[in-house]
Structure formats: C-alpha cells, structure tokens
C-alpha cells in the first residue's frame, strides 16, 4: 500500500514537467537576449552596397562590445539612456552596423572611412582623406551577376587606408553621381561611412538619405561570416539547400 503523498500522481508529474519546460525556455530566451545585447548579434546582408566584401545572402556576427553600448544596443532601441557606455572609438576601415540616423530604426552596414575631425572627398572616383589621395591598386575584375542571370566583369580595386587597413572596392560606372563630391568635415561624435560598391551605395555621401553617423547610432563591428547562401534554393526546397551554400565563405573573418 502506498502512502499518501509518497508518490506524485500522473497529473502532478505532467504539471511539473510542463513547468520545468517553460522555465527552461524562459532561461534560454533570457540567455540568448543577454548574448545578443552584450556580446554578438547575427545580421544578414540584403543589398549589394558592400560588394565585393559582402554578398547578398551572407550572414555575419557583429560584436556589440567593440564600440561600447548605447540604447541602440538593446532590442527596439528603448530611450533608457543617452550616449555610450564603455565607449571605444572605431578604427578607419571597420565594417560597422549602425542605425540609420534618419529614423534611428533601420540597420545599415557600411565601412567607416572618416573619424571625427577628418576631411573626406571623392574626386573623379578616387577617395581623398584629409587632402591626401588614398592608395588604390587595380586588381582582377569582379564577376557581377545581375537579377536576370547576366554576368558582367566589373573593375575591382584594392584600397589601403593610412592605418594600413586594405579592402576591395568596385567601380561600376564612370562619372557617376558619387564620383565627385564636396569635401565633408566630420564633426566630433560622428563618423563618415561608405559602401565598398562605390557607385551603388547610399552612405554618408548622400546627406538626405544617410549622412554622417552619430556615435550613439553605432550598433557594433562586423567580425565573421558564419553562413552564406546564393539564394538559388527557396526555403521549402530542402533538397537544394546544400547546393546553395557558398562553402568557401563560411567562417571568413571581416577584419583586415
């Protein structure tokens, strides 16, 4: 004969099991939220503005601690505080995610070219930093595929910033609207960003669209690609997933 209370009945087991499962889920969500807020957050690339460095379909991790924390480090950017905590200055050449200054909501990813006090200008498609022409070397063409499957070979260059950071850029068009600009002076607490796809990027050169990026709007620094797909497999075409992965890009570092 069993004693009362010595063995839980079936309903109590079920109730305890469900409660434990719910607690586990809550803990997992909280841990993921902390990691996403304080350490690393995943992002995917939906546009071609950072070609050839980043391709549409790339997935990357962004370090949230690299530049310190602002309200934009938190989900939905709640106005809990202003400025940055544990602030750290980006380096020229960093690939950074930031909130679009125009709406403080849309995530943008560009390369940081100008720091506070810098003067930036484009002349005939060439980048000038503080009055000095940035070194650029012509390298092999980039095979660009348009939305219709047509392949074009686009002039590709390697730029080298004064701090030694190197990266590749594309020159899609001659005499494009972005090839010649005024000289921009980067004020304190702001940064000047540009896409590597110089003729197909809304960035700090377009003041009405992006403009200068306040330090508070920085979300983090792009660190590593962890996945990449060429988009040839739809989400339900499980059998085609392995053929759509760009295996050569997996776990590529994004810092020069």
Residue 146 has pLDDT above 90, yes or no: no
Q: What is the pLDDT of residue 14?
A: 55
Q: What is the pLDDT of residue 96?
A: 98
Residue 184 has pLDDT above 50, yes or no: yes
Contacts of 196 (CB under 8 A, 6+ apart): 49, 50, 51, 52, 53, 54, 111, 167, 168, 169, 170
pLDDT tens string 4-59: 444 444 555 555 678 787 777 887 777 766 767 778 999 999 999 999 999 999 99
For residues 141 and 82, what is the distance between their CA atoms, to the nearest angstrom?
45
Average pLDDT of the chain is 90
> How many Cβ atoms sit within 10 Å of the Cβ of residue 220?
25
pLDDT tens string 207-216: 999 999 999 9
For residues 243 and 246, what is the distance between their CA atoms, to the nearest angstrom?
8
Tell me which residue of 76, 118, 111, 116 sits closest to 97, measured CA to CA. Answer: 111
| Domains of the chain, each with CATH number or no CATH | 11-249 (2.10.109.10)
Residue 252 has pLDDT above 50, yes or no: yes
Tell me which residue of 56, 31, 58, 54 sits closest to 43, measured CA to CA. Answer: 58
Q: What is the pLDDT of residue 30?
A: 72
Edge-to-edge, what's the strand order for the sheet holding 58-63? 40-44, 58-63, 218-228, 95-99, 107-114, 190-194, 213-214
Q: What is the pLDDT of residue 91?
A: 97
More confident residue, 106 or 176: 106
* Percent of the chain's residues with pLDDT above 90: 75
Q: Are 219 and 75 in contact (CB under 8 A)?
A: no
What is the set of active-site residues?
A: 49, 110
């Amino acid at each position: 004969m069993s004693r009362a209370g010595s063995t839980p009945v079936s309903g109590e087991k079920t109730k305890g099991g469900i409660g434990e499962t719910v607690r586990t889920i809550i803990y997992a969500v909280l841990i993921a939220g902390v990691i996403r807020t304080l350490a690393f957050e995943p992002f995917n690339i939906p546009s071609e503005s950072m070609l050839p460095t980043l391709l549409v379909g790339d997935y990357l991790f962004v370090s949230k601690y690299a530049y310190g924390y602002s309200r934009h480090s938190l989900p939905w950017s709640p106005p809990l505080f202003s400025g940055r905590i544990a602030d750290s200055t980006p380096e020229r050449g960093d690939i950074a995610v930031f909130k679009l200054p125009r709406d403080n909501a849309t995530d943008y990813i560009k390369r940081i070219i100008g720091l506070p006090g810098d003067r930036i200008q484009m002349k005939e498609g060439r980048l000038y930093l503080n009055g000095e022409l940035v070194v650029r070397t012509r390298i092999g063409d980039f095979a660009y595929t348009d939305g219709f499957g047509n392949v074009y070979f686009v002039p590709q260059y390697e730029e080298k910033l004064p701090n030694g950071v190197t990266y590749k850029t594309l020159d899609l068009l001659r005499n494009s609207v972005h090839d010649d600009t005024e000289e921009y002076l980067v004020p304190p607490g702001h940064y000047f960003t540009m896409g590597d796809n110089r003729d197909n990027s809304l960035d700090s050169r377009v003041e009405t669209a992006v403009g200068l990026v306040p330090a508070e709007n920085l979300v983090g620094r792009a660190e590593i690609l962890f996945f990449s797909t060429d988009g040839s497999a739809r989400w339900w075409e499980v059998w085609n997933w392995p053929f759509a992965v760009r295996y050569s890009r997996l776990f590529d570092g994004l810092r020069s």
